[in-house]
Amino acid sequence: MEKAYSNFFISSLLLLLHLYLLETVCIDAVHTDESALFALKASFTLNSSHPLTQNWSSQSSICDWIGVTCGSRHHRVTALNISNMSILGNIAPHLGNLSFLVSLDASQNNLHGDLPQDLSRLRRLKVMDFAFNNFSGEIPMWFGSNSSSISKLETLSVRNNSLQGNIPKEIGNLKNLKELILFGNQFTGTIPLSIFNMSSLEILGLSNNQLTGSLPVDICHRLHRIKSIGIISNHLSGHIPPGLSNCTELYELSLSYNSFNGTIPPEIVNLERLQFLNLGGNKLRGTIPANIGNLQKLQQVQLENNYMVGSIPHTISNLSSLWMLNLNTNSLSGIIPREIVNLHKLEILYLQINKWFHTGRALQYLYTNRGFSFLQ
């Protein structure tokens, strides 16, 4: 009996010790998070009236701080949202100590400097958003490298900064990445082929950079989930790949203002989900695909400033969701089809500087009854 009681006492004592140690570890971990956020705050230049100046204080729990979200179980920081808070400064490397962090949003501030490598230790991180800041330098190669722990990253946005250099091929190793948004920087070189092998990718935003090269012929071989491709205002050349028709989930194809040549591949009419087709400002020749009417979800078609010939296909009448049609500055000819008046959602129509035989009754109707001008 005494032995059983002794065993029970020892077991209870060990349990209490375990709970005590667990609580101590949790307190230390929360203290680690608090220290990391204080270090981050110290790297900012904040005036006395800034919300973080008084709110981020040891007088309250970090879980009550502005922009901080904690998990209900361990009370560790799981999300940090300091976006649009007029913060001037840089990102302290201590941020890499927030080991439970899942989402980091520091967009729309005045942050500058480099992205510290310590961020590569955030093994639970899924969202990293540094858009609309003043970060400079290159995207560090630790993104996707073997030494990086951010393999769970799903969203990477550094749009509208001052980043430059080549896009590191290591980004292609982020096997869970869904959104890669890099536009509005000064990236040069070609688009790494590794990016076109990311089977998880849904949004590719590379517009407004200085990228060169061409798109791979088998661009959609691995991009089965891609929904949006935006590479406007770069220096890409070559043909628009017919293989784009295999991106069956695609709703946006925006390749305007590059140096693409050749024709619009007729296979493009197989993209039944396509809503935005923007190919203006290139060197495209040939005709508008005759079966463009198959793309019944199209809302916007921009083919301006090319060398397109032929007439507007009569199948355009099937585009019942179309609100913008821009065919300005081409070599289109013939008569503007009367079917265009059936596009009841059409709000913006640009047809000037072409070689129309005459405008026909369609334009007269639109001008008289719906307020359109031929030179709109």
Structural domain count, the chain: 1
Note whether residue 193 is domain-resident.
yes
Note whether residue 49 is domain-resident.
no
Note whether residue 50 is domain-resident.
no
HSE-CB of 132 using CA atoms within 13 angstroms: 11
The CATH number given to whatever domain includes residue 189 is: 3.80.10.10
Query: How many whole angstroms separate alpha carbon 30 and alpha carbon 98?
Result: 9
Note whether residue 23 is domain-resident.
no
Encoded amino acid at 371, one letter = G
Percent share of the chain, pLDDT over 70: 87
pLDDT of residue 17 exceeding 50? no
How many Cβ atoms from other residues are within 10 Å of residue 171's Cβ?
21
Note whether residue 350 is domain-resident.
yes
Note whether residue 163 is domain-resident.
yes
CA torsion through residues 165, 166, 170, 171, sign: positive
Which pTM was predicted? 0.89
Query: How many whole angstroms separate alpha carbon 321 and alpha carbon 293?
Result: 11
pLDDT of residue 349 exceeding 50? yes
Q: Which residue has the higher pLDDT, 75 or 306?
A: 306
Query: How many whole angstroms separate alpha carbon 268 and alpha carbon 252?
Result: 12
Query: How many whole angstroms separate alpha carbon 306 and alpha carbon 279?
Result: 9
pLDDT of residue 8 exceeding 60? no
Q: Which of 345, 343, 372 is nearest to 359 (CA)?
A: 372
Kindly indicate the confidence band of residue 335, based on its pLDDT and cuts at 50, 70 and 90: confident
Kindly indicate the confidence band of residue 272, based on its pLDDT and cuts at 50, 70 and 90: very high
Kindly indicate the confidence band of residue 6, based on its pLDDT and cuts at 50, 70 and 90: low
Identify whether the C-beta of residue 203 lies closer than 8 Å to the C-beta of residue 227. yes
Kindly indicate the confidence band of residue 143, based on its pLDDT and cuts at 50, 70 and 90: confident
Helices (H), the chain: 2-42, 51-55, 360-370
pLDDT of residue 18 exceeding 50? no
Note whether residue 153 is domain-resident.
yes
pLDDT of residue 7 exceeding 60? no
Note whether residue 161 is domain-resident.
yes
Residue 187's DSSP bridge partners are 165
- 224-245 pLDDT, tens digit per residue, is 999 999 999 999 999 999 999 9
- 294-321 pLDDT, tens digit per residue, is 999 999 999 999 999 999 999 999 999 9
Kindly indicate the confidence band of residue 86, based on its pLDDT and cuts at 50, 70 and 90: very high
- 144-203 pLDDT, tens digit per residue, is 777 678 989 999 999 999 999 999 999 999 999 999 999 999 999 999 999 999 999 999
Q: Which residue has the higher pLDDT, 132 or 358?
A: 132
Q: What is the mean predicted confidence (pLDDT) over 207-212?
A: 98
Q: What is the mean predicted confidence (pLDDT) over 266-284?
A: 97
Kindly indicate the confidence band of residue 23, based on its pLDDT and cuts at 50, 70 and 90: very low
Identify whether the C-beta of residue 324 lies closer than 8 Å to the C-beta of residue 277. no
Domain containing 75: what range? 65-370
Query: How many whole angstroms separate alpha carbon 188 and alpha carbon 46?
Result: 34
Tokens linked to 190: 């070609």
pLDDT of residue 33 exceeding 50? yes
